[in-house]
Amino acid sequence: MEYRQLGRTGVKVSALCLGCMIFGGRTTPEDSYAIIDRALDAGINFLDTANVYSRGRSEEATGEALKRNGKRQRVVLATKVHGIMDDDPNAQGTSRRHIIEQCEASLRRLQTDYIDLYQIHRPRPETVCVKCL
């Protein structure tokens, strides 16, 4: 497996990242665990999910797989925030409130005490780039 630097972090990630979007939805939990195990056995160490994928069930399946195989420490785990999580108008977007609530919820669903890469899933249109003005 080829590994590359993740930005300026000093962390090396596999050139291939396993996208976990369909876990907890179209993929059964057992199949999700098997896919993750197979990817890790092949040298992939970079997993990507998001809070909104299957309304959190993707993170749950990913977290459970890492708990079962005991390989959380070997994985660079990425997740994202932005999508609508329920009918509360504040349960979406990139407000400080939503980011903090969803980060805590993602940590619970992923069954971990840290997220290696936390990303905003969509650009925030109301944020203006100072350099662009």
Question: Could you list the active site residues?
Answer: 53
* CB-CB contact of 40 with 68 (8 Å): no
> Distance (Å, rounded) from C-alpha 105 to C-alpha 56?
9
Residues in the chain: 133
Side chain identity at 55, as an amino acid letter? R
